[in-house]
Structure 1
């Protein structure tokens, strides 16, 4: 009987110490641009539905815009299009018109970007769960100051909560 009591007490103690994983996930955009670490906390993400009622073919698909303010006043923007909503896991390349990325440095009004004409960006959505979206990205961003030098983006990742416009 005593062994049963000890075993039951031990089981109660172990089960009472279980970890609660209900902590909210941190929302962020992080990347390295030619070795410079850029971090944006709590980015916004909004989907605008496609508009098939007008003659403009450039707004026929849903657009996801993710925007964050970096730790040194950089503005990071992503624009992604999809044939359907919700956005699905997979690769979104800047070679597709409507997909792109830009980083603007407010202290110098300096911008680097990737779109279907300049630079290159590959963004992979790795998780879509309810309104939470996360993924990783990399690329070569074109300097728009006139030199058109390419800046390397590595170790890019993001997590954001999507709202609808």
Structure 2
């Protein structure tokens, strides 16, 4: 049976000094199914013409998957409180531990794959794609799915100055 479907692709661009961020938001919906949102980001150093990874934004030897969470946590918590659907502050699954990268554990962070650098903040789009359900599912809770970009954490660059590479600090 042919179904009506809708696909929309938006983009946002941000410029921080010589670093340009392109964030692509994909929205796909077929009749009878939930809409799916995904975020992809492409970050470029316009001075060198090279594409950058998240690790390239930080000082040499800094692993953003371990160094970023403690610095971003207060701002992530604020974002989680505002996330949809409406929920009580700090309730599962809208807790910081579920949105921070953890080796060998399920989380909604998407390992910070979708991000943007603006003139004054680092934006993390989490998860970067729809996640059907937790794996393994929690034994004592409702099993959640999460749409891409359900949480958008805005971390001020001033909070990251200690780990940002030279030339990106504010």
Q: Under TM normalisation by the shorter chain, which class is it?
A: 0.3 to 0.5
TM-score, with structure 1 as normaliser: 0.32
Q: Going by fraction, where is strand more abundant, 1 or 2?
A: 1
The structure whose residues are more often helix, as a share, is: 2
